[in-house]
Chains A and B, each alone.
Chain A
Amino acid sequence: MVSVSMENTSAGTRGAKRSKPARLAPNYWPFVIPALVVISAVIVFPWVFTLWMSAHRWTLGQEQSFIGLENYIRLAGDGRFWESLWHTLIYTVLSVVAPLFLGTLAALVFDAEFPMRGFLRGVFVMPMMATPVAIALVWTMMFHPQLGVLNYLLSFIGIGPLEWIYNQSTVIPSLVLVETWQWTPLVMLIVLGGLAAVPREPYESAEIDGANAWQKFRYLTMPMIAPFLMIAVIIRSIDAVKSFDIIYAMTQGGPGTASETINIYLYNTSFAYYDIGYGSAMAVVFFIAIIALSFVLLMVRQRANWSEMEER
C-alpha cells in the first residue's frame, strides 16, 4: 500500500509520465507472491484445469482428445441433465422456503421472554452442529417404511405408512425435511440477530399510531428484518443448490434418478462412469449458474436493505 501511494505521489510530480499506468515497486512483490501462489494453486488452477478438461473427451484410463464445445452441446441435449436441473431447482426452492418460514417463526418465538429460553434455544440449534452423514444415517432409519419411527408416529393420527425416500414422488420432499430440520436453526439465528438489531422505538410510535400486533409485524418487523431474511436466503440458496452429502448418503440420487440433483449427476458422471470431460462441462455450467444466482440474490438483498437506503 505504501509503495503504491508513493508511486502515485511521484507520478503526480512527474507530469509527463502521468499517462503510464502506475507500476508496483520491485520490493512489493515478496509480499504479494505467497498470496498469488496460494490463490493460483487452490482457485485459479482448478478452474483453468476444469475448463481445459471440459473441452476434451476424457474418460479415466483412456487417451484424452480435444473436442472443443462438444461436451457443452451434448449437455444441451441431455434429458437427464435437464431432469437433474429441475430436481435441483425444486430441492433448492423447498430447502430455502421451508427453513426460512420455520426459522423466522422460531426467531419470533425465541425473541420473546419466557422461562428457560436460553436452554431451549441451545437445544434448538443442535441439529446444525451434527455431521451430515450421521444425520443421513439416522434419518434413513427413521424413514424406513416398516421399522422407521416416522410411520409409527403417523399411525397415531391415522395416516398410513409412507415410503418417504423409497418412493419417487416423496423422495425430494423427504430430503427437504432433513435439510429443513438441520438448517432451520441457522435461519433462526440470523433472523434473531436481525430482530435484536431492530430499533424498539418505532413500535411505540406504531402503537400510538394505532397499529395492532399483526400490523406491527407486517409493516415494521418484516420490512426491518428483510435484509437479514435476504442474507438467510442467500446462504441457504447457495448451500441448498450445491447440496450433496445428505442426498448422496441417503439416496445416491434414487430411486432411479428421482432425487438426482446436478451435483449427484455430475459426481456419477465423473466418478462412476469416469467421464471426466463431460462432468467438467457440467461443473462449468453449474458454476456459472451459481454465480448468476448469487448476483441476483445480492442485488435483491441490496434493495431490501433499508439501513443503507441513503446511499442509493
Chain B
Amino acid sequence: MAPVNISNVQKRFGAVNVIHGIDIDIKDGEFVALVGPSGCGKSTLLRMIAGLEELTDGEIRIGAREVSNLPARDRDIAMVFQNYALYPHMTVKDNMGFALKLKKVSAEETKVKVDRAASILGLESLMDRYPRQLSGGQRQRVAMGRALVRDPQVFLFDEPLSNLDAKLRVQMRGEIKALHQRIGTTTIYVTHDQVEAMTMADKIVVLHDGVIEQVGAPLDLYDRPANLFVAGFIGSPAMNFIHGRVEEGVFRTLNGLTLPLPAAANPATLGGRELVCGIRPEHIRAVTSGGIEGRVELVEGTGSEIYAKLACRGDEIACLFRERLDVRFGDTIQIAIDPDSMHLFDAETGRRL
C-alpha cells in the first residue's frame, strides 16, 4: 500500500493536448474513481500512472518514489484491463503465477500465493482452464487474481466491468469493493459509469476534456456539484436543467414557469443574469393540488420506481417517482419541488452559485 501523488501531469499526442496539468492526491489505501465521458483522458491518465504512456510533463509519485520515468515493471503496480488482457496460451494458474515466475519466486511460494488468490476469487475449479474456456466474469476474476498475487502497492483498474452484462457487472462491482475493503490496497479505478464510481469509490475525480471538474466524496459530488458538467454527469437519471432568471424573489424560467428559490439563495445577488436551475428527478414529488402542472410525455415503470418526462409550459422536466402512480402518456399531473434540493448555476460560466 502507498499513497499516489499526481502533480501537474500533462499529456500531448502531437499537437493535441489531452491532459492539461492534473493534480490529484490519493491517500494510502484509498479507493479513487476517475470518471468522465469517453475521450476525457481518464484512461490515458491511468496508463501514465501505470507506466504504459509517457508523461509530457509533470510528476507521479507512488509512496516516496518518483516513478514518472520508471518503466511499468519497476513501479510495483498491478493493472486490470478492460479486455482482461489475459495470456491466451496460458492456463488460469499460469496466468496468475506469471508475474511471480518472472520474479523467480519459488514454485512452492507461487503455488501458495496463487491458491490464496484463487480461493479469494472462487477460481479453484478453473485453474487448469485456458482463457477461451472461461466466461466474461470468470476472465475478469482471473485478471483480478493476476493482480492480487502480485501484492502491489497500487491497483489500477481500467473500466474492468464494461464488457460484462448488467447483472454480472453489479455482482463484480460488489466483489471488487469487498476485495478492496478486505485487503486495503490503494486503488485507482477508471470508469465512464458514474453509478460504478458512486457505489465503489471513497473519492471521485470527475474529468472532462483533460481537466478535473471536481474532486470529492461521492455524496459531496451528488449534493453539491461544482458545475453544470458534474451536475449532469453525476446522478442517474441525469439532473434537469432549466434556464431562467431570478425575478421578484422566485426563479422564473424562460418559458414563464415559476419555481421557488432555495432558502439559502440570496435573490439580491442572483438577480439580473441568466441562471440554470438544476433539479434531480428523484427530488420531485407528485402532488394532488397546488403543484406545477405538466403533461406526461413519457412513462417508464420498473416496478420499484416510475420515470416520467413532463412538459411543463414548454420546459421538459424528468421525474423519478418512488411511489406507485397511475400515470399514462397524455395525462396531466401536478408536481412539487423541494426548494432546498434545487441547485443554481451561472448559465454563462456553468459554475455553482
Q: Which residues of A contact B (CB under 8 A)?
A: 199, 201-202, 204-212, 215, 219-220, 223-224, 226, 306-307, 309-310
Partner of A209, one of B51, B71, B73, B83: B73
Q: Is B353 an interface residue (CB 8 A)?
A: no
| Inter-chain contact B52/A209, CB cutoff 8 Å | no
CB distance from A151 to the nearest CB of B (A): 46
- Chain B 56-97, CB-CB to A under 8 Å as 1, else 0, gives 000000000000000111000111010111111100000000
Query: How far is B51's CA from A272's CA once the two chains are assembled, in angstroms?
Result: 69
Q: Is B222 an interface residue (CB 8 A)?
A: no
| Inter-chain contact B130/A310, CB cutoff 8 Å | yes
Query: How far is B130's CA from A201's CA once the two chains are assembled, in angstroms?
Result: 16
Query: How far is B51's CA from A204's CA once the two chains are assembled, in angstroms?
Result: 10
Which residue on chain B has the smallest CB distance to residue A220? Answer: B87
**Chain B residues closer than 8 Å to A207, beta-carbon distance:** 51-52, 71-73
| Inter-chain contact B89/A201, CB cutoff 8 Å | no
Partner of B132, one of A202, A205, A307: A307
| Inter-chain contact B88/A199, CB cutoff 8 Å | yes
**Chain B residues closer than 8 Å to A205, beta-carbon distance:** 79, 81, 85-87, 146
Which residue on chain A has the smallest CB distance to residue B150? Answer: A209
Which residue on chain B has the smallest CB distance to residue A226? Answer: B89
**Chain A residues closer than 8 Å to B150, beta-carbon distance:** 209
**Chain A residues closer than 8 Å to B133, beta-carbon distance:** 309-310
**Chain B residues closer than 8 Å to A310, beta-carbon distance:** 130, 132-133
Given contacts A204-B52, A309-B130, A310-B132, contact A209 B98 (CB under 8 A): yes
| Inter-chain contact A201/B83, CB cutoff 8 Å | yes
Q: DSSP majority for the A interface? A: helix
**Chain B residues closer than 8 Å to A199, beta-carbon distance:** 85, 88
Query: How far is B51's CA from A215's CA once the two chains are assembled, in angstroms?
Result: 18
CB distance from B79 to the nearest CB of A (A): 5
Q: Is B50 an interface residue (CB 8 A)?
A: yes
| Inter-chain contact B73/A201, CB cutoff 8 Å | no
Q: Is B99 an interface residue (CB 8 A)?
A: yes
CB distance from B302 to the nearest CB of A (A): 36
CB distance from A78 to the nearest CB of B (A): 46
**Chain A residues closer than 8 Å to B71, beta-carbon distance:** 207
- 20 of the cross-chain contacts (CB-CB < 8 Å) are A199-B88, A201-B83, A202-B85, A202-B86, A204-B52, A204-B81, A205-B146, A207-B51, A207-B71, A207-B72, A207-B73, A208-B73, A208-B77, A208-B78, A209-B98, A209-B146, A306-B88, A306-B89, A309-B130, A310-B132
**Chain B residues closer than 8 Å to A202, beta-carbon distance:** 85-88
**Chain B residues closer than 8 Å to A209, beta-carbon distance:** 73, 98-99, 102, 146, 150
**Chain B residues closer than 8 Å to A215, beta-carbon distance:** 102
Which residue on chain B has the smallest CB distance to residue A304? Answer: B89
Extra pairs beyond A202-B85, A211-B73, A310-B130 (9, CB < 8 Å): A201-B81, A205-B86, A208-B73, A210-B73, A224-B88, A307-B132, A309-B89, A309-B130, A309-B132
Q: Is B182 an interface residue (CB 8 A)?
A: no
Please count how many residues in chain B sit with their CB below 8 Å of the partner chain's CB atoms.
Answer: 26
| Inter-chain contact A223/B89, CB cutoff 8 Å | yes
CB distance from B333 to the nearest CB of A (A): 51
Query: How far is B260's CA from A49's CA once the two chains are assembled, in angstroms?
Result: 103
CB distance from A196 to the nearest CB of B (A): 15
Q: Is B167 an interface residue (CB 8 A)?
A: no
CB distance from A121 to the nearest CB of B (A): 26
**Chain B residues closer than 8 Å to A226, beta-carbon distance:** 89
Which residue on chain B has the smallest CB distance to residue A308? Answer: B132
Query: How far is B102's CA from A43's CA once the two chains are assembled, in angstroms?
Result: 54
Query: How far is B89's CA from A307's CA once the two chains are assembled, in angstroms?
Result: 7
Given contacts A205-B79, A219-B98, contact A224 B89 (CB under 8 A): yes
Interface core residue of B51, B73, B77 (most chain A CB under 10 Å): B73
Within residues 113 to 166 of chain B, which ones have a CB less than 8 A from any CB in chain A? 130, 132-133, 146, 150
Q: Is B103 an interface residue (CB 8 A)?
A: yes
Which residue on chain A has the smallest CB distance to residue B71? Answer: A207
| Inter-chain contact B132/A208, CB cutoff 8 Å | no
| Inter-chain contact A208/B102, CB cutoff 8 Å | no
CB distance from A148 to the nearest CB of B (A): 46
Query: How far is B125's CA from A283's CA once the two chains are assembled, in angstroms?
Result: 53
Query: How far is B97's CA from A219's CA once the two chains are assembled, in angstroms?
Result: 13
**Chain A residues closer than 8 Å to B81, beta-carbon distance:** 201, 204-205
**Chain A residues closer than 8 Å to B78, beta-carbon distance:** 208
| Inter-chain contact B72/A208, CB cutoff 8 Å | yes
**Chain A residues closer than 8 Å to B146, beta-carbon distance:** 205, 209
Query: How far is B81's CA from A202's CA once the two chains are assembled, in angstroms?
Result: 10
Interface core residue of B51, B85, B86, B146 (most chain A CB under 10 Å): B85
CB distance from A35 to the nearest CB of B (A): 37
CB distance from A294 to the nearest CB of B (A): 24
Query: How far is B85's CA from A310's CA once the two chains are assembled, in angstroms?
Result: 18
**Chain A residues closer than 8 Å to B72, beta-carbon distance:** 204, 207-208
Partner of B102, one of A211, A224, A309: A211
CB distance from A39 to the nearest CB of B (A): 37
Query: How far is B86's CA from A164's CA once the two chains are assembled, in angstroms?
Result: 50
CB distance from A225 to the nearest CB of B (A): 10
Which residue on chain B has the smallest CB distance to residue A199? Answer: B88
Partner of B103, one of A210, A220, A306: A210
Interface core residue of A201, A212, A224 (most chain B CB under 10 Å): A201
CB distance from B56 to the nearest CB of A (A): 20
Given contacts A201-B81, A204-B81, A219-B98, contact A212 B88 (CB under 8 A): no
Query: How far is B84's CA from A202's CA once the two chains are assembled, in angstroms?
Result: 9
Nearest 3 CB-CB pairings of A with B = A306-B89, A201-B85, A209-B99
Interface core residue of A208, A210, A224, A307 (most chain B CB under 10 Å): A208
| Inter-chain contact B99/A210, CB cutoff 8 Å | yes
**Chain B residues closer than 8 Å to A208, beta-carbon distance:** 50-52, 72-73, 77-79
| Inter-chain contact B88/A307, CB cutoff 8 Å | yes
| Inter-chain contact B98/A206, CB cutoff 8 Å | yes
Query: How far is B51's CA from A208's CA once the two chains are assembled, in angstroms?
Result: 8
Query: How far is B94's CA from A209's CA once the two chains are assembled, in angstroms?
Result: 12
**Chain A residues closer than 8 Å to B99, beta-carbon distance:** 209-210
